Structure 1
Amino acid sequence: MKVLHCKDLGFDCPGIVKADSENEVLQQAAQHAQEVHQVQITPEMAEQAKTLIRDE
């Protein structure tokens, strides 16, 4: 299981994205960022997010 904490990306948010693959985590994180924070994920942000995904 791959995990990404929203707060690790700099948001004051308790959101946690969990999925089976990095790509799924990134897709869900991008959707969360747009819906909750009104932020479009740039390719640079996606690359940063990849480095913050952890195994659980």
Structure 2
Amino acid sequence: MNNLEQSYKKILEVLSNLFGNKSQLYQRKKLKIFDLEALSLALIAENISFSSECQLFR
């Protein structure tokens, strides 16, 4: 498997540069994962050809 953490950080950095902090607007409850983090995980799963993000956490 490719270096998952390194790929995640690169994609998250690019997405943060594109969108800024727009996904971290005021929320009533504390979020466990932000939108950009979820999007970067989905992009990594697509890049590695996983059919589901659930397979990332096995």
Smaller-chain TM-score bracket:
0.3 to 0.5
Normalized per residue, the structure richer in strand is 1
With the length of structure 2 as denominator, give the TM-score of the two structures. 0.41
Task: Look at both structures and tell me which one has the larger radius of gyration over its CA atoms.
Answer: 2
Pick 1 or 2: higher relative contact order, CA cutoff 8 A, min separation 6: 1
